[in-house]
Amino acid sequence: MLSVRLPQPLENQLAAFCEAQHVSKSSVVQLALEKHLSRVAKPTQAVPQGNPFAALRGTGNRKLSTEQIMRMTRGDDWNQP
């Protein structure tokens, strides 16, 4: 069993919703938590033995190009001999 304290406005909103839908507060909160956790919680992946950087795939920021990142971290002459 779990008890949760909600801010009064949220509790009022939940109560009104449950009364209008003829459902219990517990069932609404349970469903909301299940949906939230399924979206947020990502399963952890084991790091492949051959490539330690494979676990980082897909974690980057696509707003910056590789060249922009290299300039920021290495300076403007990062690719000069």
Distance CA 45, CA 64 (A): 26
| Closest residue by Cα to residue 55 from 65, 42, 66 | 42
Taken as a whole, the chain contains a residue count of 81
Whole-structure pTM over 0.95, yes or no?
A: no
Residue 60: pLDDT above 90? no
Task: Give the pLDDT confidence of 14-30 residue by residue, as tens digits.
Answer: 999 999 999 999 999 99
Cα separation, 21 vs 80, in Å, equals 67
The beta strand positions in 1-81, using DSSP E, are none
